[in-house]
Chains A and B, each alone.
Chain A
Amino acid sequence: MADGVSPLVWKEEREISFMSKCHKAMKEKGLDTKLRNTVFHWVRTQNKQSKLDPLTSLTKASVQWEKRIHKSLNSMCSDLETSLAKFRFQSELEELAEKWNELSTYNLDLSKYRPVYAPKDFLEVLITLSGYVPFTKEDEPKWEFAHLPLQVKTLDQLRKIYIEWSNGEPLLGVSPNMPSQVNDFPTLEAERIGLGERVAALGYAPVIQEYLKRGSPQCLRAKLWAQVLGAEVSAQQISYFNQLKRSVLEVDLMIDKLIFKDVQLTASNDDQYFVFEDLLYQVMLCFSRDCEVMQQLRGSTGTPLTVAIKGRQTSADSVTVFPPSGIIPFHGFTMYATPFCYLYDDPVQLYFMFRAFYLRYWHRLHYISTHPQGIVSLCLLYERLLESNEPLLWIHFRNINVNPGHLPPEQLLLLWDSILGYDCLEILPLLSLAILSFRKENIFQVNTLQNVDAVLADLSTISVIPLLQLALMKP
């Protein structure tokens, strides 16, 4: 053609310019970040395990464990002559609604209620997973998980994942007051705040995730955590939360008492969390009613009970999954929510953060599966780490799941930064190992298991991040 521009090229150019205009417009409106975040969050929810667990021994154990819990729920119900689910009387409903913001004053007789299970019970189940006990001499370590055909990482592989830590990069949780390596900032903390503010303003989840690896200043955490998990609150979330509240008010589930009891046993008597007691009742009660939790965890948790709700004419809606979330709380469950109280004073925002964290991470610690982030793999990882790095230090791994209540909130928040930043739980077994090595001297001095527990129980003076970085850095 005479003018030398083929219509095709012209069309292409036009398309490109349309695309770039589009892109520009989206950028200006912040839509591209939104879109990219949506894709990011969607992809992260898709890599769930949907096929059946390949290890039949584990599947069996998991089913048995679930059965045991259901049985104990049912027998508690018949012992206490109550039902799993019943509609509340109007008067009760009104009282609960009136006291919604101060549920600590809602009087319940909980003396006969006991937690369905404690983490220790679950640990015992894990230990006896297949009944396989390798032959060992009396004084030699008995590695419990070694026979399971699961792949776990070695310390060297972990070093590659936690590359920033193992390279000795400055971490906020190690020395916030050290001089900054970047000009214009007096300290590392100031530098992290400066950078963090820009990252938060950008609002792009993968960047935030990257940022969290080296620790977030407390003043930005609330925002960054919500962004990285896509747990920001809008009108839709508020109305959803109110719906959950509604169903707490309407239906009395037997586990409500267990929830009350758990908040009482964990937060109400704890001098770091007692002020948040009333918030926690709301959050934990609403969580039990949240059927989206069950939907999102389908396949990676078990099969919950279905029960009839007593007290009204039987109709279609008087049958419920028990509990609607599918999660039966254990003793200490509330501790998964307590650290968030230092970030959010609004119950709705607190709720959605807690839920997002549970859905992404914590549920893995309570279901027997072969998932690489699951509790069995983490136990195995812990055992292997111990075996190859502290061969002399043998202990029944009572402490795989470091009880979060024992670390001060500031330490927990730093630890959780790293879970979000590296998007994995392997830091927990590593922490257990690090604490063990750190307290090695003391452990060698005591000889009963009880005393070992005592040595490990007081974590109030431990700085977790320096300990972890030390463990990850090459000797």
Chain B
Amino acid sequence: MTSSAKICTNGATSNGLKKRLHFCSDFDRSIVINTFLRHGWKEVSPEGDWNIYWSNTLNCRNLFMENRHRLQDNQLINHFPNHHELVRKDLLVKNFNRYRKELERNNHPLAEKIQVRDPSGRTVTRYLYLDFIPTTYILPTDYNLFLEEYRKSPQTTWILKPCGKSQGAGIILINKLSQLKKWSRESKKYLQHQLTSKDTYVISRYIDNPLLIGGKKFDLRIYVLVTSYRPLKAYMFRNGFCRFCSMKYDKSLTELDNVYVHLTNVSVQKHGEEYNESHGGKLGIQNLKLYLQGTRGSDVTKRLFEDIQWLIVHSLKAVAPVMLNDRHCFECYGYDIIIDTDLKPWLIEVNASPSMVGTTENDRILKNRLVDNILSVVLPPNGIPDARWNKTPSSDALGDFDVLIDEDLIYKDNIAQLARETGQGPMRK
């Protein structure tokens, strides 16, 4: 960057967030902008001398690719340059599979495998601690592998998702091979072998036994803030929520293409007849916890929430080696997680730009707090962005974030103890 970024301080105040910073945002109606303005910060253009840029993923990638800017120490941006390694559905699976293979090659205790019986009575081999992404194949590349798996248990339902889309768009449920063949004929996708990400799909085992409350399916939206990949520093926001379907869950074939039964995206549900604007289908995660403790007991509930943390940490570790760990970057991910009837969490996908629009009053309050807390974690105590800072926020600065992992702290603590602990990770057998 040619002109160095400017910072106007209000002199007297010592509180970090009182500094008058410059920000830039690619989003119009967003809680992010409101929060920045509430702090008294000034909006500038992407070419301006911003201190914090809340960009969309495309602009962020361009900014790093074009390399026309060298970011200054006092500039932060809200994405890592190659975040797609985590958030694109096919790449997440690729990276995660590679991570497990590597651990296995090194005879790491985390890569332990066991034999289990699947619902059809077939004996299958599973990772003991790292089995939390539903079996997934990338199409068209893995089509033959998929066929092989399909034939082994033909009664499984699969979910087909385009890698280049989001918000539930283009998703179909499949329980007969003919449906997939028909789809591929129509879209001519796998015949043409044009491997752009737009034409890439994933097909995953459909979790057909989701935990239901009031008879309805839901998934969790959990916010995870990463401030560094090497060392890994990640924080989980305490106030995630459940996103409920507006219609009762129904496994029957006739409802297989009913998105209001199967897809929990708010962007899908809000078009439904049963959608309710005052709650938006969102139940706070603390209330989910209360409900599970009350109806299922505290041990299984505690276990579930530990498993969720475990899942997040290992999804991040899986991509950490390939991430460009630029010190100007932080990223707040929206994790989509489904809990099944055995209270086992499954990672569905990770989003790099989770919606920052409040759908209800409480949603607005929650997201305001989220952005506030993100800022206080990524800014050093003096409130001025500093890429050279060691990124170790005080416990006060965490707000509603809990530390998921901070490898700086861990290494300082005791490496030997870590080895012991990860050897007996919390995932169930």
Q: A residues touching B (Cβ–Cβ < 8 Å)?
A: 101-102, 104-105, 193, 217-219, 221-222, 268-272, 274-279, 341-345, 409-410, 413
Selected contact of A274 from candidates B279, B290, B293, B295, CB within 8 Å: B279
Compute how far the CA of A219 lies from the CA of B294 in the bound complex, rounded to whole angstroms.
5
Cross-chain contact B214 with A279 (CB below 8 angstroms): yes
Compute how far the CA of A279 lies from the CA of B286 in the bound complex, rounded to whole angstroms.
21
Cross-chain contact B216 with A275 (CB below 8 angstroms): yes
Cross-chain contact B215 with A218 (CB below 8 angstroms): no
Cross-chain contact B290 with A271 (CB below 8 angstroms): no
B293 shortest CB reach to chain A, Å: 4
Cross-chain contact A271 with B279 (CB below 8 angstroms): yes
Compute how far the CA of A279 lies from the CA of B248 in the bound complex, rounded to whole angstroms.
13
Selected contact of A275 from candidates B244, B290, B301, B362, CB within 8 Å: B244
Question: Nearest chain-A residue to B281 (Cβ)?
Answer: A274
Cross-chain contact B279 with A270 (CB below 8 angstroms): yes
Query: Given contacts A276-B214, A277-B214, is CB(A271)–CB(B362) below 8 Å?
Result: yes
Question: Nearest chain-B residue to A270 (Cβ)?
Answer: B279
Which of chain A's residues have a CB closer than 8 A to the CB of B291?
A: 341-342
Q: For the A-B complex with A271-B282, A275-B216 known, give 18 more contacts whose Cβ atoms are closer than 8 Å.
A: A101-B215, A104-B274, A217-B298, A218-B290, A218-B294, A222-B295, A271-B362, A275-B213, A275-B214, A276-B213, A277-B214, A278-B215, A341-B291, A342-B295, A343-B294, A344-B295, A345-B295, A409-B290
Compute how far the CA of A443 lies from the CA of B38 in the bound complex, rounded to whole angstroms.
27
Which of chain A's residues have a CB closer than 8 A to the CB of B284?
A: 271-272
Compute how far the CA of A84 lies from the CA of B297 in the bound complex, rounded to whole angstroms.
44
Compute how far the CA of A274 lies from the CA of B284 in the bound complex, rounded to whole angstroms.
12
Cross-chain contact A410 with B290 (CB below 8 angstroms): yes
Question: Nearest chain-B residue to A104 (Cβ)?
Answer: B274
Compute how far the CA of A231 lies from the CA of B48 in the bound complex, rounded to whole angstroms.
68
Cross-chain contact B298 with A219 (CB below 8 angstroms): yes
Compute how far the CA of A342 lies from the CA of B244 in the bound complex, rounded to whole angstroms.
17
A341 shortest CB reach to chain B, Å: 8
Q: Does B283 contact A (CB under 8 A)?
A: yes
A14 shortest CB reach to chain B, Å: 48
Give the bracket for the number of chain B residues in contact with chain A. 20 to 34
Q: Does B276 contact A (CB under 8 A)?
A: yes
Q: Does B9 contact A (CB under 8 A)?
A: no
Q: B292-328, CB under 8 A of A: which get 1 and which 0?
A: 0111011101000000000000000000000000000
Cross-chain contact A102 with B248 (CB below 8 angstroms): yes
Question: Nearest chain-A residue to B287 (Cβ)?
Answer: A272
Q: B21-42, CB under 8 A of A: which get 1 and which 0?
A: 0000000000000000000000
Which of chain A's residues have a CB closer than 8 A to the CB of B295?
A: 222, 342-345
A400 shortest CB reach to chain B, Å: 27
Selected contact of B278 from candidates A221, A269, A278, A342, CB within 8 Å: A269
Q: Does B360 contact A (CB under 8 A)?
A: yes
Compute how far the CA of A442 lies from the CA of B293 in the bound complex, rounded to whole angstroms.
36
- At the interface, is chain B mostly helix, strand, loop or mixed? mixed
Cross-chain contact B290 with A342 (CB below 8 angstroms): yes
Cross-chain contact A193 with B298 (CB below 8 angstroms): yes
Compute how far the CA of A271 lies from the CA of B298 in the bound complex, rounded to whole angstroms.
23
Which of chain B's residues have a CB closer than 8 A to the CB of A102?
A: 215, 248
Cross-chain contact A219 with B248 (CB below 8 angstroms): no
Which of chain A's residues have a CB closer than 8 A to the CB of B213?
A: 275-276, 345
The 10 tightest CB contacts between A and B, nearest first, are A219-B298, A271-B279, A218-B293, A275-B214, A269-B278, A343-B294, A342-B294, A219-B293, A274-B279, A219-B297
What is the number of contacts between chain A and chain B, taking CB atoms within 8 Å? 72
Which of chain B's residues have a CB closer than 8 A to the CB of A193?
A: 298
A219 shortest CB reach to chain B, Å: 4
Which of chain A's residues have a CB closer than 8 A to the CB of B286?
A: 410
B304 shortest CB reach to chain A, Å: 13
Compute how far the CA of A277 lies from the CA of B279 in the bound complex, rounded to whole angstroms.
13
Compute how far the CA of A278 lies from the CA of B214 in the bound complex, rounded to whole angstroms.
7
Q: B208-227, CB under 8 A of A: which get 1 and which 0?
A: 00000111100000000000
Q: Enumerate 25 A-B pairs (CB-CB under 8 Å) in ascending A order.
A: A102-B248, A105-B274, A218-B290, A219-B294, A221-B294, A222-B294, A268-B276, A269-B278, A270-B278, A271-B279, A271-B283, A272-B283, A272-B284, A272-B287, A274-B244, A274-B281, A275-B216, A275-B283, A278-B215, A342-B291, A343-B294, A344-B294, A409-B290, A410-B286, A413-B290
- Chain A CB count within 10 A is highest, among B293, B294, B298, for B294
Cross-chain contact B298 with A218 (CB below 8 angstroms): yes
Compute how far the CA of A276 lies from the CA of B283 in the bound complex, rounded to whole angstroms.
11
Compute how far the CA of A345 lies from the CA of B294 in the bound complex, rounded to whole angstroms.
9
Within 8 A of A (CB), among B45-59: none
Question: Nearest chain-B residue to A341 (Cβ)?
Answer: B291
Cross-chain contact B360 with A271 (CB below 8 angstroms): yes
Which of chain A's residues have a CB closer than 8 A to the CB of B276?
A: 268-269, 274
B213 shortest CB reach to chain A, Å: 5
Compute how far the CA of A413 lies from the CA of B293 in the bound complex, rounded to whole angstroms.
13
A9 shortest CB reach to chain B, Å: 54
Compute how far the CA of A268 lies from the CA of B281 in the bound complex, rounded to whole angstroms.
10
Which of chain B's residues have a CB closer than 8 A to the CB of A272?
A: 283-284, 287
A103 shortest CB reach to chain B, Å: 11
Question: Nearest chain-B residue to A268 (Cβ)?
Answer: B276
Compute how far the CA of A285 lies from the CA of B244 in the bound complex, rounded to whole angstroms.
25
Which of chain A's residues have a CB closer than 8 A to the CB of B299?
A: 219
Which of chain B's residues have a CB closer than 8 A to the CB of A276?
A: 213-214
A177 shortest CB reach to chain B, Å: 14
Question: Nearest chain-B residue to A102 (Cβ)?
Answer: B248
Compute how far the CA of A277 lies from the CA of B248 in the bound complex, rounded to whole angstroms.
12
B30 shortest CB reach to chain A, Å: 21
Selected contact of A269 from candidates B248, B279, B283, B362, CB within 8 Å: B279
Which of chain B's residues have a CB closer than 8 A to the CB of A217?
A: 293, 298
Compute how far the CA of A116 lies from the CA of B281 in the bound complex, rounded to whole angstroms.
30
Which of chain A's residues have a CB closer than 8 A to the CB of B244?
A: 274-275
Q: B336-358, CB under 8 A of A: which get 1 and which 0?
A: 00000000000000000000000
Cross-chain contact A274 with B283 (CB below 8 angstroms): yes
Within 8 A of A (CB), among B238-292: 244, 248, 274, 276, 278-284, 286-287, 290-291
Compute how far the CA of A408 lies from the CA of B331 in the bound complex, rounded to whole angstroms.
32
Question: Nearest chain-B residue to A269 (Cβ)?
Answer: B278
Which of chain B's residues have a CB closer than 8 A to the CB of A218?
A: 290, 293-294, 298
A63 shortest CB reach to chain B, Å: 39
B397 shortest CB reach to chain A, Å: 21
Which of chain A's residues have a CB closer than 8 A to the CB of B279?
A: 269-271, 274
Question: Nearest chain-A residue to B216 (Cβ)?
Answer: A275
Compute how far the CA of A268 lies from the CA of B246 in the bound complex, rounded to whole angstroms.
12
Compute how far the CA of A382 lies from the CA of B389 in the bound complex, rounded to whole angstroms.
56
A278 shortest CB reach to chain B, Å: 6
Question: Nearest chain-B residue to A343 (Cβ)?
Answer: B294
Compute how far the CA of A438 lies from the CA of B274 in the bound complex, rounded to whole angstroms.
40
Question: Nearest chain-B residue to A272 (Cβ)?
Answer: B287
Question: Nearest chain-B residue to A346 (Cβ)?
Answer: B295
Which of chain A's residues have a CB closer than 8 A to the CB of B214?
A: 275-279
Compute how far the CA of A269 lies from the CA of B277 in the bound complex, rounded to whole angstroms.
8
B104 shortest CB reach to chain A, Å: 37
Which of chain A's residues have a CB closer than 8 A to the CB of B287?
A: 272, 342, 409
Which of chain B's residues have a CB closer than 8 A to the CB of A343?
A: 294-295
Compute how far the CA of A275 lies from the CA of B290 in the bound complex, rounded to whole angstroms.
14
Within 8 A of A (CB), among B93-122: none
Which of chain B's residues have a CB closer than 8 A to the CB of A344?
A: 294-295
B90 shortest CB reach to chain A, Å: 33
Which of chain B's residues have a CB closer than 8 A to the CB of A279?
A: 214
Which of chain B's residues have a CB closer than 8 A to the CB of A342?
A: 287, 290-291, 294-295
Compute how far the CA of A345 lies from the CA of B280 in the bound complex, rounded to whole angstroms.
22
Which of chain A's residues have a CB closer than 8 A to the CB of B290?
A: 218, 342, 409-410, 413
Compute how far the CA of A219 lies from the CA of B286 in the bound complex, rounded to whole angstroms.
14
- Chain A CB count within 10 A is highest, among B216, B286, B295, for B295
Which of chain A's residues have a CB closer than 8 A to the CB of B215?
A: 101-102, 278
Which of chain B's residues have a CB closer than 8 A to the CB of A277?
A: 214
